[in-house]
Every structure is written in C-alpha cells, then in structure tokens.
Amino acid sequence: MRTKRLRSVAFALVVAAGLALVVSACGSGGGGGGKTGTTSGTTPNGQRTFPVLKAVWATTDYMDPGLSYRLASWQLFQDVYIGLVVKAHVSCQTSNCTKIEPGLATTTGTVTDGGKDYKFTLRKGMKYSNGETVKASDFKHTIVRDFNMNSPGIGFFGNIVGSDACEANPTKCKDISGIITDDGAGTVEIKLKKPESDFEFVLSIPFTSVVPSSTPNKDTENPPPAGNGPYYIASYNPSKSFVVKRNPNWKKHEIPAIPDGNPDEIKAVMTDDQAQSAQLVASGQDDYDENLLPTDQLSHYKSKFGDQIRFFTTPSTYYFFMNFRLAPFDNLKARQAVNYAVDRQQLVNLRGGLGVPTYNFLPPSYPQYKKITPNPYPYNLQKAKQLVKQSGTAGQTVTVYTISDVAVDLSTGEYLQGQLKKIGYNAKLKAIAGANYFTIVGNQATKAQIGFTDWFEDYPYPSDWFNVLQNGDRITKVHNNNYGNVDVKSLNTQMNKLASLPPNQALSASTNAKWAAIDRDLMVKYASSVPYLNGILTSFFSTRMNVDCDIYDDNNDDVAQFCTK
C-alpha cells in the first residue's frame, strides 16, 4: 500500500488525569455483561483504558476498506475491519509480526486440493457495530462489492474460480462461483484456479475485510461501513477529521489475536502538514502524531522529546516509476540513464536521514532479498547523459509527477525534475494533492510518464511487490498499481509461477533465490524503476502517553494498544 509518512494519531492531553479518574469512578455507561467497558480502567494485560485519544492523522484517499490503499486508512482498519484471518497485532521488534492468525474464522483455514481449496468456519455470534450479525455470505458480498467499485484490490482476486466475468466487467459483477458460503453452517469455501503462495496473506488485507451485506456497492464514507472489530468509525469528514468509537457489539477477547483496545474513543484531525502535526503534539494539544516528523527538525525534536519519539525501519521502498508504454521510457537506455542520474544519498538527505539507500526493489527485511552487487547504478551524471544521447530521446518533454502537499515528496519530485534536465530532457513538474495522487497516476488516461511513489508491504511476501507492482499481467485501466506499466513477458511468467506455488513450497530456499533473481533482473536487465530508499518512519507521542505500550507491527503503530502513563 502507499505512503506511510502520515502516521499521526495524537492523543489528547485534554482530559486531565483527575477528570479521567472521576469519569472512571462514575462508570459512564457502557457495556455491561460481556461488552467492553467504555471508561478508564485496566485491561487484563495490565494496560489502562482511557477515555479519549486525540491524534493528528494524515489525509487519506478513502475511508472504505474496499477502496482505500493508503497506510493512513489501513492503520485504522486493522482495529475496525476484520477479515477471515488477520495479521498478528504484535511488535515486529519482539515477535513474529508476519504470522497469520484466525480472525472472523475459527482457524487460519483448511487448505486442500494441492493449495486450491480453502475452507473457513466463522465464529458464532459475532456482530457488526450496527447490530447486524456477521454472516458467511458477507464475505462473498465483500469481494463482489470490491469488483463493483473497481477497487484497487481486485487484482488480488483474479485467481478465484469464476472471477473471469467480474475481471472483464467489474462493475457488472454479480457472483463469483468459486466462493461458496453457507450462512447456516457459517462456512466459507474459496476455490482457486491454481495454488497461490500468498493467498492467506491476501485474506488478511482490508480488501477482504468483511463488511455487512447491507453495505452499498459504492464508496461509503459518511459514515463508513459498519465495523466488526473492537472499534468502528463513527464519523469521517474527508481530509479534515474522523472519530472512532468502541464497537458496542464487540465482546471482550472475542478474537484472541485482536486486542480489545485501550482508548474508548479516538478523535483525529487530518493534515499532511508535518510541521503542524508535530507542533500539535509537542504543544500537548494532541497525543499522537501519525505523520512523519518534519525532516528538517528531527534534531530539534529528538533533543527535546527524545523519549517520546520512536523510529522504525519499515518494509518499504520509495521509488520512481517510469512508464514502459510512453516515450522516452519505453527505451531501456533512457530508463538506465535515470537510474544513473539519481543520487540515492541525496534523497535520503531530503528525508532528513530517515532512509537507507537501495538499488533493490524488494526491501532487506525479506528472506528473498539479496543485495544486488556490484552496485548496478552508481551515481554518474556523465554516463546518464551518454545513455540519453544513445537512446535518441534527448530533448524530449518529460513530466514528473509528485505529491504537492507533503514537503518531502514535493522536494523529491523537484529533485528528479532537476536531474532529468541535467541529463538532457525538457523536464516539467506536475504536483498533485496527496489525497488524489495515486488515483490520478494510477489511471491510464493520465499517461503519467515518470513520478514519485512508494510502497509499504500489504503482507510479507514478494508477490505483493513484484506481482502487484511490476507484473504486466496485473495492469489495469484505473486504480493501476503498476504505474510504470512494467511488462516483461518472461518475468511475468516467472512471477506468476512463483506466486502459484502451494503454501508449503512458497518459502523454500530455491523459491527465495528465484524471487531474488527476479529482483535483480528487473533492476539490472530492464531498469524497470528507480528504487532509491527503504523508509524509516517516526512515531511521536505527547508526554501523557506511555511509549512502552506502542506496538509497531510491519507498517503501523497499533492505535488500539496505546496507553497513557
């Protein structure tokens, strides 16, 4: 998924400790019986609940699990929208955060027929925040709804039996025969055309998070679809604010892998202004900054709020896409030239040092990662100029796309534009607001030639990188994730083959080596994109918050587990 720099859920200072205690003592209403309490108290694991978490959050594209492909939304969704299985809500620093755990289903599924048949049984008695019962047929509705909305996630479902018609005409999709549900028995069976190495991971991402069958098959934002996790999104004002509350129908420890959560309510204002959001937390007005700290003030914040800031190296790659279908980047030498013209260290500097330069597409945290040596594209402006001349593309007009309202992304776009000019292109800059950026560049009608993008893993398997972002068989007209329209037939075949292995072969040493070879070929032989750094992100808390409660999984702080001092 895209863009993590906006992780800022600040917690409000606003409620003084004394007031919190009074409220707690009064026992403001809440869930009796087996329901989760709504007042300050202590959870069985010893962490305190508290009334309100005030946060500053990045803006996002949608607040609908079927449509959003931004980290800012997904961070919330992990505690709101639950799928058949879930990723463990544990820290990657101390535990295996890549482990798949049962979610709405009682187990992680029974896999038969050589990895082509998955069966799940739902937990009994689960309800959405709107009171509806979670039904097996809701899962099918969710997937059909994704197709109907032309969701960016529909590429994940092409291997399900009976999905061909939906793929051909998504908005007319009515049924997928390979998804068989039985509401009475609470069972979901998914039949695949061929084995799929990452299918369990796919079932853990928000595109497959189950929403009620009553949810309309269109962007539903105000309020967003009812939740089935410990929280639900009570209101959402796009690009301005949202409020998340406890799901009144969530029973304590209903799903062991998902914590009940500490804050009773999360109130967030949304901005992409990193300086502003950091200041809101520094001043104590908010308690959690979901945005990246302003990169030019890292030293200042570190020296003043050292204990309240955490840094995490993420499984992410920041890169420039280059469109294989459009001149000049339909030319290999032109793409190689750009790779030589980009000084990765300078782009790390632009992020204040929060990054590790890279020439691989896959991040180093993967077992399939093998650093490409020798460095395939050492910074060499002269060589870049030569390649541009040899390609016969010198002087062509190139428009660089980037995000306008995140300072570091804008600077990154300006840097690339400057470098392209230096190597002989007539380079121009087109900056677009972050909330719409990926939708626009992911639309073939835009004809984006080159631009900034980043990728944070949806799940920890290479197919999420290569098949989603660099496989020509996954190119779509809208919501296209392969912005560069990278399409190398031989590698497509190899990617598809590796992604179709039965789960028990997916992580073998030979499979890992093959993924690494794809990484190398894409970069060295085809210069398919310009990966330049693996991102380091920040979490900034007010002094009211207990930083030790922060659980950082692969990409996100788990807001539900935040606690106060």
Which amino acid, one-letter code, is at 372?
I
Rounded to an integer, what distance in angstroms lies between the CA atom of residue 473 and that of residue 471? 5
Strands 241-246 and 117-121: unpaired
- Specify the length of the chain in residues: 565
Nearest to 319 by CA among 201, 465, 480: 465
Which amino acid, one-letter code, is at 167?
E
Strands 397-403 and 426-432: parallel
Number of chain positions touching another protein (CB under 8 A): 41
Pick from 297, 390, 444, 543: which binds another protein (CB under 8 A)? 297
Residue closer to another protein, measured from CB, 347 or 545: 347
Rounded to an integer, what distance in angstroms lies between the CA atom of residue 559 and that of residue 30? 21
φ and ψ of 422, to 5 deg = -60, -30
Rg (CA), the chain: 23
- Strands (DSSP E) found in 192-330: 231-237, 241-246, 263-270, 288-289, 309-313, 316-322
- 173 contacts 217 by C-beta, under 8 angstroms: no
Residue closer to another protein, measured from CB, 250 or 532: 532
CB of 450 vs another protein, minimal distance in Å: 15
Nearest to 206 by CA among 259, 151, 137: 151
Q: In this structure, what DSSP letter does residue 12 have?
A: P
Nearest to 154 by CA among 514, 476, 530, 498: 476
Binding of residue 90 to another protein (CB under 8 A):
no
Pick from 404, 496, 543, 546: which binds another protein (CB under 8 A)? 404
Residue closer to another protein, measured from CB, 444 or 496: 444
Binding of residue 437 to another protein (CB under 8 A):
no
- Is 267 in a helix, a strand, or coil? strand
Binding of residue 395 to another protein (CB under 8 A):
no
CB of 444 vs another protein, minimal distance in Å: 17
Rounded to an integer, what distance in angstroms lies between the CA atom of residue 330 and that of residue 318? 21
Binding of residue 418 to another protein (CB under 8 A):
yes
Pick from 48, 251, 370, 421: which binds another protein (CB under 8 A)? 421
CB neighbourhood size of 127 (10 A):
18
Which amino acid, one-letter code, is at 405?
D
Residue closer to another protein, measured from CB, 247 or 534: 534
Contact string 305-324 vs another protein (x = CB under 8 A): ------x-x-----------
Sites for another protein among residues 177-216 (CB under 8 A): none
Residue closer to another protein, measured from CB, 440 or 524: 440
Sites for another protein among residues 240-279 (CB under 8 A): 273-275
Pick from 239, 365, 411, 505: which binds another protein (CB under 8 A)? 411
CB of 276 vs another protein, minimal distance in Å: 8
Binding of residue 355 to another protein (CB under 8 A):
yes
CB of 516 vs another protein, minimal distance in Å: 22
CB of 361 vs another protein, minimal distance in Å: 19
Q: Can you read off the two tokens belonging to residue 518? A: 């794809």
Pick from 393, 417, 449, 556: which binds another protein (CB under 8 A)? 417
Rounded to an integer, what distance in angstroms lies between the CA atom of residue 397 and that of residue 426? 5
- 294 contacts 124 by C-beta, under 8 angstroms: no
Q: Can you read off the two tokens belonging to residue 117? A: 């048949």
Residue closer to another protein, measured from CB, 333 or 383: 383
Binding of residue 536 to another protein (CB under 8 A):
yes
Binding of residue 284 to another protein (CB under 8 A):
no
Pick from 187, 213, 346, 444: which binds another protein (CB under 8 A)? 346
> What residues pair up with 48 in beta bridges, in sequence order?
42
- Contact stretch for another protein (CB under 8 A) within 109-117, 252-260, 413-421, 513-521: 413-421
Binding of residue 375 to another protein (CB under 8 A):
no
Pick from 51, 195, 294, 462: which binds another protein (CB under 8 A)? 294
Residue closer to another protein, measured from CB, 262 or 446: 446
Run of H or E residues at 347: helix 344-350
Binding of residue 428 to another protein (CB under 8 A):
yes
Strands 117-121 and 179-182: unpaired
Pick from 14, 257, 356, 549: which binds another protein (CB under 8 A)? 356
Q: Can you read off the two tokens belonging to residue 26? A: 């009064």
Q: Can you read off the two tokens belonging to residue 318? A: 């920041």
Pick from 54, 351, 520, 544: which binds another protein (CB under 8 A)? 351
Binding of residue 298 to another protein (CB under 8 A):
yes
Tell me which residues touch another protein (CB under 8 A): 273-275, 294-300, 302, 311, 313, 343, 345-346, 348-357, 379, 404, 407, 410-411, 414-415, 417-419, 421, 428-429, 431, 536
